[in-house]
Amino acid sequence: MRKKLTTAIVFCIVLSVSLAQENALYKWRKGIVKDEFVYESAPFPSCHSATMAETPQGLVYAFFGGTHERNPDVEIYVCRYENGQWTAPQSAADGVQQDGRRLPTWNPVFYQIPDGDLLLFYKVGPKPSEWWGMLKRSKDGGKTWSDAEKLPDGILGPIKNKPVLLSNGNLISPTSTEGNGWNIHFEISADFGKTWRKVGPIARGVDDVNAIQPSVLDHGNGKLQILARSRNWAIVESWSTDNGETWTPLVKSSLPNNNSGTDAVTMKNGTHVLVYNHVLPPPESPKGKRTPLNVSISKDGKNWDAVLILEDSPISQYSYPAVIQTKDGLLHFAYTWRREKMKHVVVDPAKLKKRKIKNGIWPTVNGYSLPEEEPYKAEEE
């Protein structure tokens, strides 16, 4: 009898702890109004690297898919949100060359010109240190596309994250290179992508920061900030006070980075939103597992509040996110789900609850903290 009673007590304790953790995790998902896969099945086994845009015809979503990253059959696929659901993935660009050779495509990035074309930037090449920039245009929200245009020599286009239209009328494209170390620069266009000029690269600073894939935040009055992926165990930042013409040397922010892609956006009310893996890798390697996937917000770009955990399974990976704010004020997050599917999460920012991030540590709620990682296994870039 005593043994049965003890077993029952242990069961109740375990159940109570489990329910408490589930309730705590629920608190990290307040504000989510939609959580969905963009497709259930596709003619390719692997996918990665999301981008989204709001067009006059509705939302459009793109990513690359194929046998696996770097495989020559990898193409850029597009889905459109029509009649309350996503269309099936449709190939919008491939890496077939004039001589018949086939090369992989990489990292699509959308930009919707105000009252103009939808631009699709992407890369073609055997690997990031050797790829080049390509561009296609759509006049109907991504249903049909122009012929591919190769960007001018030395111009790559936005490398992962969206361009930002500045108050002076310039379109600033955040980009980077991976050949001679990792370096960040910018490509600026005064005519929505017809012509370009380069700014940078940004100085690596005293920590010799190796960083790529920046996002641009607009603080107003010509003051800009970037947040970027790095090999330095932290999300890194740089600032400009002249609309991106000059930049401070790169420095580490207060937030960790697992050498994986991030994205950020400045909302209409001036609040900055960052989506990233809040993971600090072990000292012996700057690359850590790409889970969980988190969202933080800030008023000044320096002090960050934890607001969301989009994914927290120890099964990796949830990665290469994108974030936009639509005209109705909602936030839309797009990201890779385990390299098997692409995810779309819609959030009402008015319902987010803020909790301070202190010393780079994600706050604990009701005993719930971020899950322990499984042993790291090498993943694609």
Cα–Cα distance measured from residue 304 to residue 358, given in angstroms and rounded to the nearest whole number: 9
Whether the predicted pLDDT of 99 surpasses 70: yes
Mean pLDDT along residues 15-36: 70
pLDDT at 12 over 50: no
Over residues 100-115, the pLDDT tens digits come to: 999 999 999 999 999 9
Cα–Cα distance between 201 and 257 in angstroms, integer? 21
- List, for residues 237-252, the tens digit of each pLDDT value: 999 999 999 999 999 9
Show Cβ contacts of residue 367 under 8 Å, excluding neighbours closer than 6 positions: 17, 20, 21, 24
Q: Are 368 and 309 spatial neighbours (Cβ–Cβ below 8 Å)?
A: no
pLDDT digits (tens, 9 = 90+) for 310-353: 999 999 999 999 999 999 999 999 999 999 999 999 999 999 99
Both tokens of 10, joined, read 């242990």
Tell me the pLDDT tens digit for each residue of 195-216. Answer: 999 999 999 999 999 999 999 9
Burial 11-21 (b: 16+ CB within 10 A, else e): eeeeeeeeeeb
> Per-residue pLDDT averaged across 58-70, rounded?
98
Domains of the chain from N-terminus onward? 25-356 (2.120.10.10)
pTM of the model: 0.92
pLDDT at 371 over 70: no
Strand order, beta sheet including 272-276: 263-266, 272-276, 293-298, 305-311, 355-356
CA distances from 297 to 101, 114, 270, 370 (A): 45, 26, 11, 18
| Contact (Cβ atoms closer than 8 angstroms) between residue 203 and residue 240 | no
Distance CA 255, CA 276 (A): 10
Residue 252 near residue 207, CB atoms below 8 Å: yes
Q: Are 239 and 250 in contact (CB under 8 A)?
A: no
